[in-house]
Amino acid sequence: MEERKCELRLPNGKVVNFSYAKLKAGIAVTALVLVGAVGTAGYLYHQLSDYRSEATDYAAYKQNKAEQQTKLQKLLQDNERMLRDMAEISNLEKKLRRAVIRDVDSSRLGEGTSMVDS
């Protein structure tokens, strides 16, 4: 089979020779490059939209985390205050029990005996 060739005469007088087989190969390569570029652009656009969505979600997560940590810190402070209050109440209860026991002992002491006898 004979290779088909074409001759193109340019206005400046030059003559360009090319074959149809090379032209077809050039068109095929150009088409593949264009398809690859369009595919890559689509993929990158999809990745960018995913990134934007994830960035928005991440910002919301960080804000929620900061709020939760603030609440947790407040709860820890409340817990420490309650523990101090409970310790203070326990100490007051011990003092009150000792005072009641002393009052009971001194009232019994005064019933039948005097301080001199003991």
pTM of the model: 0.46
Q: What is the pLDDT of residue 1?
A: 54
Q: What is the pLDDT of residue 15?
A: 86
Q: Is residue 37 part of a domain?
A: yes
CA distances from 113 to 101, 106, 117 (A): 18, 10, 6
The domain tally of the chain equals 1
Token reading at 67: 């709020």
Q: Is residue 13 part of a domain?
A: yes
Residue 117 pLDDT exceeds 70: no
Q: Is residue 18 part of a domain?
A: yes
- Residues spanned by the domain of 96: 5-110
Q: Is residue 40 part of a domain?
A: yes
**Dihedrals phi, psi of 9, to nearest 5 degrees:** -100, 120
Cβ–Cβ < 8 Å for 6, 21:
no
Q: Work out the pLDDT band at 118, boundaries 50, 70, 90.
A: very low
Q: Is residue 118 part of a domain?
A: no
Q: Which is more confidently placed, 52 or 111?
A: 52
Q: Is residue 117 part of a domain?
A: no
Average pLDDT of the chain is 87
